[in-house]
Amino acid sequence: TSNTAVTQPGGPTLIVNEGDTVEIVLHNELSEPTSLLIRGQDMMPDLTGVAPGGTKLYSFTASQPGTYLYEAGLLPNAQHQVAMGLYGVLIVRPDPSFASVNGNFDADYANTVLADGPTHYYRLGEAAGPTAFDAVVPGNDGAYGTAVTLPAPGLLANSADTAAGFDGASADSFVDTGVTSMSSGAFSVEAWANANTIGTSGHRIVAKDEVGVTGAWILWFNQGKLRFQVRDSANANWVIAEAPATPPAGTPFHTVGVFDGTDVILYLDGVEVARTALGTATANTNSLPVTIGADSDPLNPRDHIFDGVIDEVALYNYALAPARIQAHFNAGSASSGVTLVDSTANFTAVNYLVGGTLYNNTDGSSCTIASVTATTLTCGAPLAGGAANTWMPGDAYTASGNFAYNNMVSNYDDEAVLLLSEIDPALNNSADPAAFDMRDYKPAYWLINGQVHPYIQQIPTAAGNKVLLRYVNAGFQYHTMSLLGLDQMKIAEDGYPLPFQYSVVAENIMVGQTQDTIVNIPATAPDGSRFALYDASMLLHNNNDAGFGGMITFLTTAAGPAGPDAAGPATSAVTITPSLSDGTTSVFLSATVSDAATGNANIQAAEYYIDDTNGTPVAMTATDGAFDSPVEAVEATIPAATIAALSPGDHLIYVRGQDDAPGNNWGSFNLVTLRLELAGSGP
């Protein structure tokens, strides 16, 4: 079998919306019974199947957004049928109405924290114990005491996330993180809290200390004051930073204790409120576990129990910068982190935080956001034009962009399905596959989307974009997918979003499993960058032939110089129809070009290049016949003669737009892949 002939694409990718009633008619043209199984969907398993020549209707409600595998169902020959390619991908899109201004933005807070590299992060959002999950180090989880109230009302604004409640009395009201080792040269301790009572006897929020043991540090209320205290390593003296004003009982607050190698510093609601010199370069260390809501003694009854709710505890082995502490407080105290659009007043807010920018999409004016409440964004002096000083978010505001799930962490710009499978020529070339003994199954080819390298289509993207990778393992072997040069953030597994997202270098995908990850392409990635996506098990060959093969493809940014001005319009939704051509007919190219967020000037031109943006561009036209608005649908027909002159294989089509602002700014490129297969040239 030649490598170009190795192909097994499976069935079509089915895309539906959350809440849709889905009906699939299966007509069996095989010589044996078959059936349909859709993993992750609420439908009765079909144990009788469809006889040869028969037809059956399968129906279900797509109740959960996500990525799912469908395949031949639970019949005696199902294993052979799946190995022969009876499988495919189901994508359920989320209900777009989830992301209103009053929606659940807690994932943005978590991402803000995780972006600063905590060593441990306990969100305390479990519905029940005993495990308090660590969002940074899976498996390095803490344990709830039996008297902790779960779930307790969460302390983040506009969030459905929950927290942990502590009763102020019981020795079983604590969380033992198990973390015994922390930096002594510089570190930070962060938490949200809401005290029922303040008292004077000492209520721990987070501590690494116990009576009778030389303590390390405590973040707590003592003598009616909020304190962060650190013991120096030279003299074993406590050095205290104490807030001049105590947060009132019943009021949620954000606090961070920092030791920067010189000073003990206390922050309250994003602002430094106290600072005291430690006197030595290092803090004391001990072997006690970091404990939430009580002291750290794991052997004797706990004491100094917090009375109230604690949420979002993070530990860092360095001193958090003041700007980042302010950013954490902002992210937790207001809806934040996404671009919000008001379809009525025509305003766009970029970064819904203090310091973000509010644009008037009509006249291009803008101002810096000076304050944020649950109902109002207030601007300072407009930077240009005459933007209104207040913006009232209402029901008309929705989150722009694409989302894989009903959470903000799944926001993406580009997406790709990666259907993983294998081929054993002894089975796949067999005249009687049903007679093949699956115990002898030994794949020689490993495929992504039905192709082996170098025939796998690359994944087009652009610098600064978020790419959603939807992995679906339809094969019979585990595959460990790695991205060279970039991390992936795992957001979901088997169609269920993870409560704690985490970064992976290589992640094992089991048989029949799906996983969703987000990849951030660096904004500084040079044009023409290629990031290799491959199976880290290193079976990167085609039937032991020389050279690379198997499961390898690339995330590819535009090759050649981007537009000369980054303030030019953005290009999105680039599509080509058909994407697979034999060179005998023309293809249709379309895209959307928008200057709404980059000056709001009218679009005046668009163009495309084939393979090389240093070549000669071809003009595109406005779909509505005239370039006269800041957002334009554009199109072009690429003649069959142009396509036939290309070499067989993948070709990248680059598209960009130009605005009519002073300087006539060209925007950056976006791209799409066209595959050319001339007769006898391809798979």
Q: How far apart are CA 174 and CA 462, in angstroms?
A: 47
Same domain, 508 and 588: no
437 inside domain: yes
139: which strand partners?
none
Q: What three-state secondary structure class fits 147?
A: coil
Q: How far apart are CA 680 and CA 683, in angstroms?
A: 8
| Of 58, 66, 59, nearest in space to 21 by CA | 59
Q: What is the CA radius of gyration of the chain?
A: 29
| pLDDT digits 0-9 by tens, 211-258 | 667 778 999 998 889 999 998 887 778 999 999 988 889 999 999 999
Measured CA to CA in angstroms, residue 157 lies from 22, 106, 497 at distances of 36, 8, 21
Same domain, 258 and 301: yes
Q: Where does a domain end: 387, 403, 419? A: 403
Find the CATH number of the domain harbouring 202: 2.60.120.200
Q: How far apart are CA 293 and CA 406, in angstroms?
A: 32
Q: What three-state secondary structure class fits 298?
A: coil
Same domain, 518 and 583: no
Same domain, 147 and 67: no
Which pLDDT does position 384 carry in this prediction? 43
Measured CA to CA in angstroms, residue 146 lies from 164, 174, 179, 303, 527 at distances of 12, 8, 19, 15, 55
Question: For the ranges 177-191, 309-323, 350-364, which has the lowest average pLDDT?
Answer: 350-364
Same domain, 146 and 259: yes
Find the CATH number of the domain harbouring 535: 2.60.40.420
Q: Where does a domain end: 333, 355, 389? A: 333
Q: What three-state secondary structure class fits 414?
A: strand
Same domain, 307 and 166: yes
Q: Residue 201: which domain range?
A: 106-333
Are 61 and 42 in contact, with CB atoms under 8 Å apart? yes
Which pLDDT does position 369 carry in this prediction? 60
461 inside domain: yes
Q: What three-state secondary structure class fits 348?
A: strand
433 inside domain: yes
Q: Where does a domain end: 277, 310, 333? A: 333
Question: For the ranges 29-43, 464-478, 552-566, 614-628, which has the lowest average pLDDT?
Answer: 552-566
Mark 604-625 as b/e (b = at least 16 C-beta within 10 Å): bbbbbbbbebeeeeeebbbeee
| Of 553, 551, 474, 550, nearest in space to 510 by CA | 474
| Of 313, 355, 319, 392, nearest in space to 109 by CA | 313
681 inside domain: no
| pLDDT digits 0-9 by tens, 392-415 | 333 223 334 578 887 767 878 889
Which pLDDT does position 340 carry in this prediction? 40
101 inside domain: no
82 inside domain: yes
Mean pLDDT of 115-136: 90
Q: How far apart are CA 201 and CA 413, in angstroms?
A: 52
Q: Which region holds residue 155: left if phi is over 0, alpha if psi is between -120 and 50, else beta?
A: alpha
Question: For the ranges 119-128, 291-300, 474-483, 641-650, which has the lowest average pLDDT?
Answer: 291-300
What's the pTM? 0.49
Burial bucket for residue 369 (CB in 10 Å: 0-12, 13-18, 19+): buried
Same domain, 119 and 208: yes
Q: Give the orientation angle of helix 322-333 with respect to helix 106-114, to 10 degrees.
A: 170
* DSSP result, 25-81: EEE--SSS-B-EEETTS-----SS-B-TT-EEEEEEE--S-EEEEEEE-SSTTHHHH
357 inside domain: yes
Q: How far, in whole angstroms, is CA 446 from its chain's centroid?
A: 27
Domain count, the chain: 4
| pLDDT digits 0-9 by tens, 534-593 | 999 887 888 777 777 889 999 998 754 333 344 678 888 899 999 999 989 999 999 999
Q: How many residues does the chain have?
A: 683
Same domain, 135 and 260: yes
Same domain, 192 and 271: yes
Same domain, 468 and 430: yes
Same domain, 324 and 265: yes
**CA dihedral (175, 122, 268, 209) positive or negative:** positive
According to DSSP, the β-strands at 402-403 and 411-412 are: antiparallel
* Phi, psi of 428, rounded to the nearest 5 degrees: -70, -20
Centre a 10 Å sphere on the Cβ of residue 416 and count the other Cβ atoms it contains.
21
Same domain, 156 and 263: yes
224 inside domain: yes
Find the CATH number of the domain harbouring 586: 2.60.40.10
